[in-house]
Amino acid sequence: MATDTPLRPADSAAFDEDRGSQARPVPPASGWAPRLRRLIGIEEPLLAWVPEERTRYTWYGALVVNTALLGALSMVLALSSFRSDLPLAAVVGVAVIWFWVVLALDSWLVSSTHGTTVRKWTLAVRFFLSVLLGLFIAEPILFQIFDKEIRQEIAVGNEQKVADYRGMLVSCNPTDGAATTDRPECARYQLKVAGSPAELARQIRTNGDRTAALRTQVADINKTLDDKLATEQRLCGPKYWIWRGGVRDVTITCERARKATSEYEKNSKVKTYEKQLQAMVDHGQALSARKDRAADDYQPLLQKAIDDKTRQRAADLDTDGILTRAHGLKEVAASDGFALFLTIVLHLLLLCLDAMPVLAKVLSGATTYDTLLGARHRTSRRLFAEELEVQHTCARLEHDVQRHRVRLDTDDRMRRLEHEHQRAQAERAARERAELEERMGRIMRARRSVTNPL
């Protein structure tokens, strides 16, 4: 009857099978999920003990990949906005490199948080790093979202800058050509336009001053020359003639006066000065004629110079630079309350998306996997400490063996040395005894030969 009695109830088989399905560790997983978990430093053999958390860490890895993809998209948008001259291959290459950088950084940030020994301040530091990365990723996306408004704001701002610049050019360059050097604000806005009425008036004044000075110089020379000619005529007149060779002739004083007049006329260069004076008078008349026409000719030239500088200023203004677009975004946000609210919300949203890998770790707290990993870390430290202790003990015992071996070898060598020393002493004593006996024999033979002569 005992052999017919079942060892366990019939309804316990299902329970045992269910327990068999919960055996730990579970078989390793396959597919793309383990690869996602491997990106964030998850060890599959350890996770096999808590398979319930596989889904969490799979989506955790997906968050890291999504952040890297968002960073690559942000880099593409940034390069296409700020460097539109780059070829597509260069843009794609830089985006791929930036994808890898963001992926590696986020993977390190997440993998370094595994385990129960991670402190809150280290999580805060990692979160701060992720926020910095998020700011760099979020800005190009915001620029693209508000692209139309930013471009409009930049265009309006540039138009205002150009209008202000043109206004300063007009203010600092009057149509009559009057100088504005006494105005400090006009130092960077003064134009050099030839033929202005004020410039011509200045040239006329300068030419008139030089003409007057030269005319005075020529008049002085002519007055001196007239005085010399009058002296010459007086000394060479009939009143001063003398009889020489039966005819009337001038005196030596007359000849000296004529010579002095000729040398003065030659050395004073009065003819040259008179030609220069006439040229200055003609140049002054020409300048006066140009001044009469300058009112009609100068204004078109000045207008053309102002237009050229204005066009150059408009061409030099930046429209796609990152700082210009950042300033445009600030102006857009400051000009409308809803735009400011939307900018802040989008900033926070993109920052949360970029910082989500670390933020998710902060929010989720320690998991069973972290507990197991921490336990394994502690076990590894204990095993390593025990291994070090075993190695230390073995090394100490090995040193004891070597010390004992050296001690025995030393004792053996000391005994050998003592035996060799005793043997050397015995041999030396034997040699001395043999030498003494030989000397004694020689002495005895010598005595016998003395006492028993032949």
DSSP result, 220-288? HHHHHHHHHHHHHHHHTSGGG-EEETTEEE--HHHHHHHHHHHHHHHHTTHHHHHHHHHHHHHHHHHHH
**Per-residue pLDDT tens digits for 122-161:** 667 666 776 776 677 777 777 777 777 777 877 888 888 8
Q: What share of the chain is helix, strand, coil (3-state, %, to 5)?
A: 80, 0, 20
> Predicted confidence band at 116 (pLDDT cuts at 50, 70, 90)?
low
Does residue 143 contact residue 81 with C-beta atoms inside 8 Å? yes
What is the reported pTM?
0.50
**Per-residue pLDDT tens digits for 246-278:** 666 666 777 777 788 788 777 877 788 888 888
Q: Is 51 exposed, middle or buried (0-12, 13-18, 19+ CB in 10 A)?
A: middle
Q: What is the pLDDT of residue 278?
A: 84
In this predicted model, which residue has the larger pLDDT, 26 or 402? 402
- Percent of the chain exceeding pLDDT 90 equals 10
Q: What is the pLDDT of residue 10?
A: 44
**Per-residue pLDDT tens digits for 182-236:** 778 777 877 777 666 666 667 777 888 888 888 888 888 888 878 877 877 777 7
Q: What is the pLDDT of residue 419?
A: 92
> So where are the chain's domains?
24-145+336-366, 194-319, 378-443
Does residue 190 contact residue 180 with C-beta atoms inside 8 Å? yes
Give the span between the Cα atoms of 198 and 287, in whole angstroms: 12
- Of 11-20, 22-31, 170-179, 254-263, where does mean pLDDT reach its minimum? 11-20
Among the listed residues 352, 433, 444, 399, the one whose alpha carbon sits nearest the alpha carbon of residue 134: 352
In this predicted model, which residue has the larger pLDDT, 118 or 104? 104
Does residue 83 contact residue 12 with C-beta atoms inside 8 Å? no
Per-chain mean pLDDT for the chain: 77
For residue 406, pLDDT over 90 is answered with yes
Residues paired with 341 in a beta bridge: none
Q: Which residue reads 């006439």 in tokens? A: 278
